[in-house]
Structure 1
């Protein structure tokens, strides 16, 4: 699978599962109609989808320059923290405006989502790698396979 196809597939699957869970959760948490929170979930996921693609491109570029290949637990934690931290900065104003809450309340709500999505991002990426294999940037180089 090409790197671009892999990143698009990963991002779309990640966000589709997220929309299915976040819409109803936001409806319950903010006592808002499900149509409103589903719309918010779609907007948040669209933003996250764009961020996911960009972040994974940057992360894999960084990763390809590392001397140690593979995706250790520490590298997966760094991936999850970088992705979710950047996303939080983007989503707080959106949540504040959509839900009519203060930025501080949106920050707290985003912290709850951050904890959930931090674990979800690590678990999803691990499962995705198990099903579709590691990207080229994380594959161990085999001297015999490359003719060295």
Structure 2
């Protein structure tokens, strides 16, 4: 099990590297000012972390109210969890993208959809690297 400090380090490194990477690459691709995209990235990252916490607490409470166990979760429930999380976040992210980058609705939805494709790939690669650099501590066998 990872410690609280390790989980905080993981979250901060994940977000900082994601923001840095996107701010270095995407403004040129999208033709938007780097400072506007950087501010958008920081705001969206902060909102995503907050939404992640609130959504997961609400989801777990809903499961408990419905009399369902919190674990194990079947595939269909994990899929529903992920999809409804992203739909909920899109209600905030799409208008924010429209406002901060002066994008139309379709452009904002496409950018948001691009994140839906790229962030899981980034997360997979980040977590592989993180687990290599900061391996999960293995329990020590008790001496006889």
Same fold? TM cut 0.5: yes
2:44 paired with 1:26: no
Structure 1 segments of 4+ aligned residues over 6 angstroms from their partners: none
**Structure 2: which 5+ residue stretches go unaligned?**
131-135, 138-144
Which moves more between the two structures, 23-32 or 50-59? 23-32
CA distance in structure 2 between the partners assigned to 1:14 and 1:59 by the alignment: 23
Which moves more between the two structures, 93-102 or 28-37? 28-37
CA distance in structure 2 between the partners assigned to 1:78 and 1:121 by the alignment: 21
State the Cα RMSD in Å. 3.5
Deviations 1:99-141 (A, max 9, x none): 1111221112212112334x359859x989xx59xxxxxxxxx
How many residue pairs were aligned? 125
Q: TM-score, normalised by structure 2?
A: 0.64
**Structure 1: which 5+ residue stretches go unaligned?**
133-148
CA radius of gyration, larger in: 2
CA distance in structure 2 between the partners assigned to 1:60 and 1:70 by the alignment: 12
